[in-house]
Chains A and B, each alone.
Chain A
Amino acid sequence: MEIFSALSFVLTSPMLIVAILLAAVVGMIVGAIPGLTAAAAIAMLLPITYYMDPLFALAFLYVIGKSGRYGGSIAAILFNTPGTAASAATQLDGYPLAQQGKAGKAMKVATISSVIGDFMGDILLIVGVGAIASVALRLGPPETFAIYFTAFIVIGSVIGKSIAKGLISALLGGLIAMIGLDPISGEERFTFGVFDLTNGIGLVPLMIGVFVLGEVFDQMEKRNKRMAALNTKAYDKNNDGLTWEEYKPCLPHAIRGGFIGSCIGILPGLGSAIAAFVSYGEGKRRAKKPEQWGKGALEGIAAPESANNAVSGPSMAPLMTLGIPGSTIGAILLGVFLIHGIQVGPTLFLTSKELIYQLFACGLIGIAAYGLIGYFGASQVAKLIVRIPQNVLYPMIFLTSFIASYSARGSMFDVLVMICAGVVGWFMRKYEFNTAAFIISFVLAKGTEESLRQSLLMSDGGLMVFIERPIALIFILLGISVMLLRIRSIRRERNQAENKELNNA
């Protein structure tokens, strides 16, 4: 097994270990700051890696990507503002937990689950890189569309209390995603002649606006109502520790999340955010107490956190063997390969086998590093953060959101988008629309549209292409059955509620 010799090589080179530790810390920090994504950090650090040895450069960036996906959970839990899109699902239960004084506990669950998911993904990558690549290669536009279709349905269970409001939120997200240039023909849509809109709406400013600024506005409004109620409770010493009994019910969710994340990682382009939401949706559907989800269930953290990290490993397979980057981080890593003259492609495992396994080994060590630092450090961070009074903390977050939305693309227009999205996000909160459904359908809509229209071009506009191709058919059927199950459970809930009312009356 190449991986063991690679592991021993990495473990015996102190400089590499230092780079991995550094990357773990950097990733956590950028991940935790809303708007500053791991992808942005990697892009910024990319020039430095020119001067590094290829393994150094790749390991450094690869580990930042991993720990950045995890770091996003910190802000999601503490401030209800996800550090990255991938952790938007984590805040659904993370923030309620923090309000109950269980921030430390929540963060430990996030850490353990991220580590589980990440390990699962990496092991799948190491064991089955060849198989993953051949699977990825068989996924053409029809299959991709079928998977998006299923993802949309599974994510439907995060829609929340009101189905109508959830659907409206999701539709709004999809509509916003349509702004810009048509992905197939390149014509302008919904731009109203405004030049800046032709670039479309960026995910980063939209997300910061809806989640971060929306939250700040919300806190501002609530300020008079409940004076610092959160402050005294956010960190409770007695609720810091995590017992095995508490984590035990989370474990199946973490493992399922790891599995879902790994599968989504194989598909180029779907990414961590979608994995997290699919895992959350599926976890909620199968949960013993689904009514607890969204109100502070530890399982509700385990499921998305494990899934978003599990994406990291398998997404390397289509990247390295097919040259298709599955994410922004993937695209940048591809750049690093190219810069160092490593020919990405099916022959990579023949030409640079040693390097690749050493990179995988670095990934494994990186997971352990952010896991340990996170487990013991994150609650310290929580302790520190809750000491900051709210009237200092929220203005700080407010400022950061401006800086982050500007710096992502250096565009003032993005700041404007962020402010508008903030107001929208605030109203959505106020009237109980679903911000998570809004963002996730924004993320999903683009890929869905593109793959649907590519498929239709392949089939001269016929829908048979989704039925004739076995993989596509399986996913379509899966999506439909999830939808039927969901309709049944909603009806059952409704009947139960009606019976209750009858009994009460």
Chain B
Amino acid sequence: MIRKSFVFAISSALSLTIFTSTIAKASDYPRRSINVVVPYKAGGGTDAYARALAAAAKGTINAPLVVVNKPGAGGLNGAQSTLGARPDGYTIMLTSGGSFLLSTLTRNTKIDALKSFEFVGQIGQLKTSLIVSNDSPYKTAQDLINAAKDSPSTLRWAHSGRGGFHYIAGLGFLAANGIEAQDVPFKGGGPARAAIMSNQTDFGFIGIQQLKGFEEQLRGLAVNASTRDQKVNSVPSFKELNIPYSNISSPVIILAPKNTPKDVITYLESSLKTITKKPIFVEMLSKRGTAPAYLPAEDTQNVLMEMKSDILPILENLKK
């Protein structure tokens, strides 16, 4: 009996030390709320991931995640503010990786999407789509292309900011089909969607998930991908329509300012893995018409690197 309780005491003391030592490390971080910078307006597709992440982080990360929307300039406003933040893990950025990468490539900025930040991981993927309002005369993507060919440069199209992946994908679509149209940038997906809905522009490129809840107002003509979207599968893909396009999408990634401590990154990375599996996360994204897609830090960086080599020739082409 004595021995038993002795063993128990030892083991509990041991487990306590192990427990406290891991806690001690983790309890250094996070000690206060973590700001998650979203460089887009609330209500857009990227924002939905941040809100879901913040809600699902409860119980995994022992501090609240506070979503801070810093919209503007195709996501660079937020990126720049994140870069300027102290690298202590209390400011991280959740961004649309494709848009972010493109912004850094097309704009005069010192930010290098692959080098300026520490990669934490990927939690999802966003696809853009060709959308018109429901009372638009264009019933199919081909209608739109024909109309644009009949009267060049008269059509207007909306997107969520130049340098964003919606914009580049849109330009890619126009170039691939040999048509021209004037773009009108809006600050974020929500305002761009409203502009399409109210026929301020003739069409637009916005996230496919933005159709959710607006099925009566908007008509999705095509998804900018080789396959249909998992969630919104009523809209055909460009590939199945045999319409040329640029295969540009956007992984939803999390970045931290350069020189954020390694153990903080690892902590966040493993937390992301846990969080993205949580039913609440899946459910929240599902309500918004998206789905989780986790990748660890290294793979995230590789995905972006591959995308960069795919995009560069397209960008060169667009310049011509």
Q: Which residue numbers of A lie inside 8 Å of B, CB to CB?
A: 43-44, 46-47, 50-51, 137-138, 140-141, 180-188, 195-196, 198-200, 268, 318, 322-325, 331-332, 334-335, 338-339, 341, 343-348, 409-411, 413, 450, 454, 457-458, 460
> Residue B84 at the A interface, CB < 8 A?
yes
Contact A186 B51 (CB under 8 A): no
Q: Which single residue of chain B is at the shortest CB-CB distance from A44?
A: B66
Question: Residues of A contacting B287 with CB < 8 Å?
Answer: 338, 341, 343
Stretch at the interface among B17-25, B178-186, B254-262, B264-272: B178-186
Contact B72 A183 (CB under 8 A): yes
> Residue B297 at the A interface, CB < 8 A?
no
Q: How far is the CA of A47 from the CA of B54 in the complex (A)?
A: 8
> Residue B77 at the A interface, CB < 8 A?
yes
Q: Which single residue of chain B is at the shortest CB-CB distance from A195?
A: B84
Q: How far is the CA of A101 from the CA of B191 in the complex (A)?
A: 47
User: Which 6 A-B pairs rank lowest in CB-CB distance, beginning with the nearest?
Assistant: A345-B213, A47-B64, A186-B73, A331-B42, A140-B200, A181-B73
- B311 CB to closest chain A CB, in angstroms? 17
Contact B42 A345 (CB under 8 A): no
Question: Residues of A contacting B74 with CB < 8 Å?
Answer: 186
Contact A184 B185 (CB under 8 A): yes
Q: How far is the CA of A450 from the CA of B76 in the complex (A)?
A: 17
- B285 CB to closest chain A CB, in angstroms? 10
Q: Which single residue of chain A is at the shortest CB-CB distance from B193?
A: A323
| B residues 71-117 in Cβ contact with A at 8 Å | 72-74, 76-77, 80-81, 84-85, 90-91, 103, 107-108
Contact B43 A331 (CB under 8 A): yes
Contact B213 A346 (CB under 8 A): yes
Stretch at the interface among B118-126, B155-163, B225-233: B155-163
Question: Residues of B contacting A185 with CB < 8 Å?
Answer: 162
Contact B77 A181 (CB under 8 A): yes
- A168 CB to closest chain B CB, in angstroms? 28
Contact A343 B212 (CB under 8 A): yes
> Residue B190 at the A interface, CB < 8 A?
yes
Q: Which of A198, A343, A454 contacts B186 (CB 8 A)?
A: A454
Count residues of B near A (Cβ-Cβ below 8 Å): 61
Question: Residues of B contacting A454 with CB < 8 Å?
Answer: 184-186
Q: Which of B43, B73, B191 contacts A182 (CB 8 A)?
A: B73
Question: Residues of A contacting B41 with CB < 8 Å?
Answer: 325, 331
Q: How far is the CA of A51 from the CA of B214 in the complex (A)?
A: 28
Q: Which single residue of chain B is at the shortest CB-CB distance from A409?
A: B81
Say what secondary structure dominates the interface of chain B.
mixed
B197-213 CB contact bits vs A (8 Å, 1 = yes)? Answer: 11011000000000011
Q: How far is the CA of A138 from the CA of B198 in the complex (A)?
A: 6
> Residue B149 at the A interface, CB < 8 A?
no
> Residue B295 at the A interface, CB < 8 A?
no
Q: How far is the CA of A61 from the CA of B77 in the complex (A)?
A: 27
Q: How far is the CA of A187 from the CA of B161 in the complex (A)?
A: 12
Contact B84 A324 (CB under 8 A): no
Contact B35 A183 (CB under 8 A): no
Q: How far is the CA of A254 from the CA of B183 in the complex (A)?
A: 43
Contact B194 A137 (CB under 8 A): yes
Q: How far is the CA of A51 from the CA of B58 in the complex (A)?
A: 10
Contact A137 B58 (CB under 8 A): no
- A251 CB to closest chain B CB, in angstroms? 36
Q: How far is the CA of A347 from the CA of B218 in the complex (A)?
A: 13
Contact B80 A198 (CB under 8 A): yes
> Residue B67 at the A interface, CB < 8 A?
yes
Q: Which of B68, B156, B284 contacts A458 (CB 8 A)?
A: B156
Question: Residues of B contacting A348 with CB < 8 Å?
Answer: 213
- B235 CB to closest chain A CB, in angstroms? 17
Given contacts A343-B287, A347-B216, A460 and B182 within 8 Å (CB-CB): yes
Q: How far is the CA of A344 from the CA of B189 in the complex (A)?
A: 14
Contact B213 A344 (CB under 8 A): yes
Q: Which of A44, A186, A199, A409 contacts B163 (CB 8 A)?
A: A186
Question: Residues of B contacting A325 with CB < 8 Å?
Answer: 41-43, 190
Q: Which single residue of chain B is at the shortest CB-CB distance from A460?
A: B182
Given contacts A184-B185, A341-B283, A332 and B42 within 8 Å (CB-CB): yes
Most chain A C-beta atoms within 10 Å of own C-beta, residue among B69, B182, B183: B69
- A391 CB to closest chain B CB, in angstroms? 34
> Residue B253 at the A interface, CB < 8 A?
no
Question: Residues of B contacting A51 with CB < 8 Å?
Answer: 58
Contact A346 B162 (CB under 8 A): no
Question: Residues of B contacting A46 with CB < 8 Å?
Answer: 66-67
Extra 9 A-B pairs, beta carbons < 8 Å, given A323-B213, A325-B43: A183-B73, A184-B162, A187-B107, A199-B70, A344-B213, A346-B214, A409-B81, A457-B185, A460-B182
Contact B43 A411 (CB under 8 A): no
Question: Residues of A contacting B182 with CB < 8 Å?
Answer: 457-458, 460
26 example contacts (A-B, Cβ-Cβ < 8 A) are as follows: A44-B66, A46-B67, A47-B66, A50-B54, A141-B195, A183-B72, A184-B185, A187-B108, A188-B108, A199-B81, A323-B194, A324-B43, A324-B190, A324-B194, A325-B42, A331-B41, A331-B42, A334-B42, A335-B47, A338-B288, A345-B213, A346-B214, A410-B90, A454-B186, A457-B183, A458-B201
Given contacts A140-B200, A325-B42, A343 and B55 within 8 Å (CB-CB): no
Given contacts A50-B58, A343-B287, A335 and B187 within 8 Å (CB-CB): no
Q: Which single residue of chain B is at the shortest CB-CB distance from A139?
A: B198
Q: Which single residue of chain B is at the shortest CB-CB distance from A328?
A: B69
Question: Residues of B contacting A334 with CB < 8 Å?
Answer: 42-43
> Residue B177 at the A interface, CB < 8 A?
no
Given contacts A137-B194, A323-B193, A183 and B42 within 8 Å (CB-CB): no
B20-48 CB contact bits vs A (8 Å, 1 = yes)? Answer: 00000000000001010000011100011
Q: Which of A140, A196, A335, A458 contacts B198 (CB 8 A)?
A: A140
Question: Residues of A contacting B197 with CB < 8 Å?
Answer: 137, 322
Contact B184 A339 (CB under 8 A): no
Q: How far is the CA of A202 from the CA of B80 in the complex (A)?
A: 14
Q: Which single residue of chain B is at the shortest CB-CB distance from A188?
A: B108
Contact B66 A43 (CB under 8 A): yes
Question: Residues of A contacting B68 with CB < 8 Å?
Answer: 43
Q: How far is the CA of A454 from the CA of B107 in the complex (A)?
A: 19
Contact B191 A335 (CB under 8 A): no
> Residue B247 at the A interface, CB < 8 A?
no
Q: How far is the CA of A200 from the CA of B84 in the complex (A)?
A: 13
Question: Residues of A contacting B90 with CB < 8 Å?
Answer: 410
> Residue B62 at the A interface, CB < 8 A?
no
Question: Residues of B contacting A44 with CB < 8 Å?
Answer: 66
> Residue B217 at the A interface, CB < 8 A?
yes
Question: Residues of B contacting A188 with CB < 8 Å?
Answer: 108
Question: Residues of A contacting B91 with CB < 8 Å?
Answer: 410
- B87 CB to closest chain A CB, in angstroms? 13
